[in-house]
Amino acid sequence: MSLRVAVAAPFVQNGTNRLEENEFVVALSLDRDWFSPDQSKRLIDVATQDGLLEPDGNELVAGFDPTEVTIPEEFVPDEDILTERSAFERVLDTLVAEGMAKHEAVGAINTLQGELGVTIETAAVIYARREGIDVDDLVPVARSALVPDADS
Tell me if 152 is assigned to some domain.
no
Identify the CATH number of the domain in which residue 76 sits. 1.10.10
Q: Give the pLDDT score at 84.
A: 72
Domain extent at residue 91: 87-145
Q: Give the pLDDT score at 92.
A: 87
Stretches in the chain below the pLDDT threshold 50:
150, 152
* Burial status of residue 87 (CB atoms within 10 A of its CB: 0-12, 13-18, 19 or more): buried
95 and 71 housed in the same domain: no
Q: Give the pLDDT score at 119.
A: 87
68 and 96 housed in the same domain: no
SS3 call for 119: coil
Rounded to two decimals, the pTM is: 0.64
Whole-number Å distance between alpha carbons of 34 and 42: 13
Tell me if 151 is assigned to some domain.
no
